[in-house]
Amino acid sequence: MVTVHDVARVAGVSISTVSRALAAPERVAAATRARVQAAADALGYVPNRAASGLRAGRTSAVGLVVPDLENPYFASVTKGVQARARAAGLAVFVVDAEEDPHLEADLVASLAPQTDGLLLCSPRQDDAAVRDAAGRARVVLVNREVAGVPSVCTDHARGTELAIEHLRALGHARVAVVGGPERSWSQERRADGVRRAVERFDDLDVVELGAYRPHVDGGYSAADAAVATGATAVLAFNDLQALGLVRRLAGRGIRVPDDVSVVGCDDTFVAGLAATPLTTVRTDLRGMGATAVDLLADLLRPGNEPEAPRVVLPAELVVRASTADAPRVLVPSPAVAP
Amino acid sequence: MVTVHDVARVAGVSISTVSRALAAPERVAAATRARVQAAADALGYVPNRAASGLRAGRTSAVGLVVPDLENPYFASVTKGVQARARAAGLAVFVVDAEEDPHLEADLVASLAPQTDGLLLCSPRQDDAAVRDAAGRARVVLVNREVAGVPSVCTDHARGTELAIEHLRALGHARVAVVGGPERSWSQERRADGVRRAVERFDDLDVVELGAYRPHVDGGYSAADAAVATGATAVLAFNDLQALGLVRRLAGRGIRVPDDVSVVGCDDTFVAGLAATPLTTVRTDLRGMGATAVDLLADLLRPGNEPEAPRVVLPAELVVRASTADAPRVLVPSPAVAP
DNA sequence: TTGTAGGCGTTATCAT
DNA sequence: ATGATAACGCCTACAA
């Protein structure tokens, strides 16, 4: 390993000059600076981050905690975080909490001391756990809000409203809304959106269905309940759920969008993947990750301790093939097998 | 920040005793150990990794470089890496190289000095670049082989053979194989598999199609060429490509699997997502990531410098709805519009 | 069994 | 403008 000492020896200066020449070039004579630079290049000197971090009391690393890396939602957020962090000179420790709040708490505790700050995607964790995390490290929440903790999230209420508005415009008179995990933050924001839509449109019937897993299987399970409500359109909790819905419907011979329209949420890459691309509520997920890094970087700037900012990113509707005009006749419930 | 000094003061011992009590409990009197432990717990002491790393000359962190985190293939590998690394006490820096070999080289160079080793998913990088990386750090390759560098990969040739065997068993007489990126390692292994299958089955016609992007759009673009060959079955480079194929075929009114069978590759979670779940060649992607960590951890164990091991994981076929008996009649090429 | 002391590589302070 | 030195927190010979 090449150290400042090696560079100093080759350049014929002291280690302090080397350090300065590299960190604050203007405080060193041009000729000296050039010699140091040359020596450093020749030797392939790279500062040891552990050492400078030890000295400076920071690590230049941040931690990102997500519930599931295989969920395309978090994959995109991670991608955004990663790109912006690189630009900001921060390394990113990524950990997958396996959708387990306990594991997540452990990870936060072990990650906190070895990073300058944490980015948390914690849809299920309760407020107390999040506050505890915020007490251990600088924390920025992603798609979650807790009083006093900086956060970036999507305007889910508005997104939900947009989706319902869209379905109403297509002539749907009854819309089923499939719920996500009960205690999840975005589930509650979505409920706000439903409430607002219900208040605005008295010609529209919105039926909320109980909690289903925010994965393909959840949608698969919710499909029958959705159809049984007599709704001609279904709003899923996310894109994966929407795909599960479509699949179960197809299995029952119910066509999307001819018989039933389906709307997803998040516009993850899977929305455009299926044979019938999903109409969905879009959020800039990479942008969300990038913004979270910006917030954290601000917090880390020495002397900065601003009031916990809350950024709310807009939601917009992306119309694709999975929604169409409401059918003239309701889908008949298939006869119960004898 | 709580340091050994704080713990030592509270426990009424010296810092070396604290260090020992925590690292080598058996070398400290039981009573002393208990007092130290109590003090450490009370204060919430956590060793500073920068400091111990500096001292020990290692970081206890590894780097994982992937071309695209949003690609479900790498998402799964990352998940596997992450879980096993946690178990091994290693933190993981994850970086996304955005499918750019130059960026990837930069990332490797900047990651190498701040980690104990690197896990590289570099399908496109040429051998020289990989060897250069291996010169800068301990490296384990994932799904790639380069002489002298430890690696974990899938038996693509066998997987390809299995897929073709399956299609032949269904009565398909002509199979189109869609190529992935030309210079990719797995593309060449797959070509080996095709060669072997061709040798084995003289009643089978295998048509290889040129390079297409290993994404949905690549499959979408390859579909027409595949149909034009008169093949009744298509083997895609990966699951995403297979989904793109299905979608374009559906757009042309060609049904999967009734008219054309489609086989994916990798069994990423998207394979089970579509309305017509994909028959695909399965590899344990998380296991691959986990194995890569094991290999790297072995390499890191002091004194160990084994001959670069190469682990080849088996490929197996998962049959789902996207493959069926060959149709009696070939799909007629739709008449060219006047 | 326990304590003392030195050094890992860097940077900041203080002299020169 | 440059150099000597101390200190960040930890670990470990070595001494007691």
The answer, yes or no, to whether residue A336 has pLDDT greater than 60, is no
Confidence at residue A269, expressed as pLDDT on a 0 to 100 scale: 93
Please give the biggest Cα pair distance in chain A.
94
Convert chain A into a string of H (helix), E (strand) and C (coil). Answer: CCCHHHHHHHHCCCHHHHHHHHHCHHHCCHHHHHHHHHHHHHHCCCCCHHHHHHHHCCCCEEEEEECCCCCHHHHHHHHHHHHHHHHCCCEEEEEECCCCHHHHHHHHHHHHHHCCEEEECCCCCCHHHHHHHHHHCCEEEECCCECCECEEEECHHHHHHHHHHHHHHCCCCEEEEEECCCCCHHHHHHHHHHHHHHHHCCCCEEEEEEECCCCHHHHHHHHHHHHHCCCCEEECCCHHHHHHHHHHHHHCCCCCCCCCEEEEEECCHHHHCCCCCCEEEECCHHHHHHHHHHHHHHHHCCCCCCCCCEEEECCEEECCCCCCCCCCCCCCCCCCCC
Longest Cα separation, chain B:
94
Q: What is the dihedral of CA A10, A56, B53, B115, to 10 degrees?
A: -70
Q: Which residue is nearest to nucleotide D10 (CA to C1')?
A: B52
Instruction: Kindly determine whether residue A83 and residue B98, on different chains, have CB atoms separated by under 8 Å.
Output: yes
> Cβ contact (<8 Å) for B72 and A76?
no
Token code pair at residue B290: 């986990």
For chain B, residues with pLDDT lower than 70 are 329-338
Computed over every residue of chain A, the mean pLDDT equals 93
Tell me which chain B residues have a C-beta less than 8 angstroms from the C-beta of A79. 68-70, 96
pLDDT surpasses 60 at A333: no
Neighbour tally for A147: CB within 10 Å: 10
Q: What is the pLDDT of residues A233-280, one digit of tens each?
A: 999 999 999 999 999 999 999 999 999 999 999 999 999 888 889 999
pLDDT in the model for residue A337: 40
Structure confidence by residue, pLDDT tens digits, A275-312: 889 999 999 999 999 999 999 999 998 777 777 899 99
pLDDT of residue A1: 86
SS3 B158: helix
How do residues A34-79 score in pLDDT, each as one tens digit? 999 999 999 999 999 999 999 988 999 999 999 999 999 999 999 9
Residue with tokens 């975080």: A81
State how far the Cα of A120 lies from the Cα of A115, in Å rounded to an integer: 13
CA atom of A5 to C1′ atom of D11, Å: 22
* Domains, chain B, with CATH or none: 4-56 (1.10.260), 61-154+285-314 (3.40.50.2300), 156-283 (3.40.50.2300)
Contacts with A107 from chain B: Cβ below 8 Å: 86
Taken as a whole, chain A contains a residue count of 338
**C-beta within 7 A of nucleic chain C, residues 199-228 of A:** none
Residue A335 has a pLDDT of: 45
Determine the nucleotide nearest to B14 by Cα–C1' distance.
C3
Q: Do the Cβ atoms of B115 and B62 come closer than 8 Å?
A: yes
Written as one letter, the residue type at B106 is D
Set of chain A residues whose Cβ sits within 8 Å of the Cβ of B72: 70, 72, 75
Confidence band for A175, pLDDT divided at 50, 70 and 90: very high
Q: What's the pTM?
A: 0.93
Q: Supply A10's token pair.
A: 């080759």
Q: Please say if the pLDDT value at position A183 is more than 90.
A: no
pLDDT digits (tens, 9 = 90+) for A84-116: 999 999 999 999 999 999 999 999 998 998 999
% of chain A surpassing 70 pLDDT: 96
Query: By CB neighbour count within 10 A (0-12 exposed, 13-18 middle, 19+ buried), where does B103 fall?
Result: middle
Average pLDDT score over residue span A132-149: 95
